[in-house]
Amino acid sequence: MLKVCKFGGTSMSSSIAINKVTEIIHSDDSRRYVVVSAPGKRDNTDIKITDTLYQCFREMKSTGSCNESFSLIYDRYMGIVRDLGLKIDMKTYLDNVKKGIESSQSPDFAASRGEYLNALIMAEQLGYAFVDAADVIRFNDDGTFDEDTTNDLVQEALSKVDKAVIPGFYGSYQDGRIKTFSRGGSDITGAIIARGVNADLYENWTDVSGFLKADPRIVNNPERIKTLSFRELRELSYMGASVLHPDAVFPVRVSGIPINIRNTFAPQDEGTMIVPHYVERDEKNIVTGIAGKKNFAIILIEKSMMNSEIGFSRRVLSVFEKYGISIEHMPSGIDTLSVVVSEEELKNKLDNVIMDIRSQFKPNTVEVYHGIALIATVGHGMSRRPGTSARLFKSIYEADVNVRMIDQGSSEMNIIIGVENDDYEKALAAIYHEFIG
């Protein structure tokens, strides 16, 4: 058995947390490759190290130095090393990082240093080798991830070390410049390493015991999801379930490596297992989970005989492409087409979009509905159980909620509805209690 373990920011936030991580790793000798995030918040009043590093870069750009912001970085890391009793020369590493930030042209270098420094500390703490992500994770010149080169580099580098710590969140271009993933990208790094070493399991350690079937801020004490598929994970993550970066499934999906979400602060909990294959559900568990997000807009276009106009939908979408607006959903009828987009995406662009649609397509009407929340009900078992949709809409009706949009894929693995923002919590809770109890 070979395991790759990734530990998130909360798991690496302090010397106390790092000691817990050390116990977890040493308790299982198959945990040979460890990916770490930058230190997260120690409490609600704290600031994440990555946010402070971004502030360092902004201070450097405006004043030519980052002395004020970097003092917070210095104190945090020196305190961790002191409390762990390590002999590592952290002052030299910190001085070099500060010089690097003050001479860098991109915020990516600054942002990546939280993981870099934490990985150095963790390698010293465990007695493992340190492997810099910049040496094994490669990006193309256009900023896209170079999957094949990276996999070759990971295989070559880690075949030479039995146990290693690798910083998450970043890699490099061919010329050595640092490039980061999006926030939460350490999850992706962990998956990349798991694929590269052909791990049997990718453990992702965080501060929760796996995925829940609904948002605990809306549903009191929701059930934990014991097992879900990669496809179900993608659906739930996209709709707001944020335990794992949604792109983290792609590297391990190629090799069929399962992911186990575990809790650093409750290591006895089994967590959630994410597997590459279909998950059979019993009658009680036909719905895997319910997730959603607020603040969408629906642009409703009505035009007689639009269904007979070849390329009509494509040409409508080209208007949104022109303004760099991503489309969430596009339910349609014979004479109507609804385009669902994030309110944030539409900001300062809506008037131009409507003007272009009216001038190019001469529709009968164009209406915009703001303040829409989307709720996704997800589960492989839904497709094999007649009446699932009926139960869902019955629960919404009994909750006195009006449905503004319905979108169901042909796979029947998810049903997405749009409701008013004000009805979001009520609708999600109603669906949960109908299917899960």
Do the beta carbons of residue 292 and residue 374 sit within 8 Å?
A: yes
**CATH number, span 289-435:** 3.30.2130.10
Structure-token pair, residue 346: 């539409």
pLDDT score of 411: 60
Structure-token pair, residue 318: 């080209």
What string of DSSP letters covers 337-390?
EEEEEEHHHHTTTHHHHHHHHHHHH--SEEEEEEEEEEEEEE-GGGGGSTTHHH
Q: What's the angle, vertex CA 116, arms to CA 111 and CA 119, rounded to 5?
A: 140
Structure-token pair, residue 130: 């340190």
Do the beta carbons of residue 45 and residue 82 sit within 8 Å?
A: no
Name the range with the highest mean pLDDT among 194-198, 303-307, 402-406: 194-198
Residues 96-118 have a mean pLDDT of: 94
pLDDT score of 374: 94
> How far is it, in rounded angstroms, from Cα 273 to Cα 200?
13
Residues with Cβ within 8 Å of residue 22, at least 6 apart in sequence: 125, 126
% of the chain at pLDDT higher than 90: 73
Structure-token pair, residue 159: 């075949």
Extract long-range pairs of 42-48: CB within 8 Å, 24+ residues apart: 42/13, 42/14, 46/13, 47/72, 48/9
Q: What is the pLDDT of residues 262-321, one digit of tens each?
A: 999 999 999 999 998 877 766 677 888 999 999 999 999 999 888 788 888 899 999 999
Q: What is the pLDDT of residues 125-151, one digit of tens each?
A: 999 999 999 999 999 999 999 999 999
> Is residue 235 predicted with pLDDT exceeding 70?
yes
Q: What is the pLDDT of residues 2-13, one digit of tens each?
A: 999 999 999 999
**Residue ranges covered by each domain of the chain:** 3-278, 289-435
Residue 242, number of CB atoms within 10 A of its CB = 13
> How far is it, in rounded angstroms, from Cα 34 to Cα 36?
7
> What are the φ and ψ backbone dihedral angles of 365, each rounded to 5 degrees?
-145, 155
> Is residue 92 predicted with pLDDT exceeding 90?
yes
Q: What is the pLDDT of residues 370-390, one digit of tens each?
A: 999 999 999 887 766 788 889
Between residues 332 and 397, the one the model is more confident about: 397
- When the pLDDT of each residue in the chain is averaged and rounded to a whole number, the result is 92
How much is the CA Rg of the chain, to the nearest whole Å?
24
Architecture of domain 3-278: 3-Layer(aba) Sandwich (3.40)
CA distances from 371 to 72, 361, 368 (A): 40, 26, 10
pLDDT score of 283: 66
371: left (phi over 0), alpha (psi -120 to 50) or beta: left
- Across 79-88, 98-107, 233-242, 366-375, least confident range: 233-242
Q: What is the pLDDT of residues 152-187, one digit of tens each?
A: 999 999 999 999 999 999 999 999 999 999 878 899
- Across 81-90, 249-258, 336-345, 356-365, least confident range: 249-258
Q: What is the pLDDT of residues 320-345, one digit of tens each?
A: 999 999 998 888 888 899 999 999 99
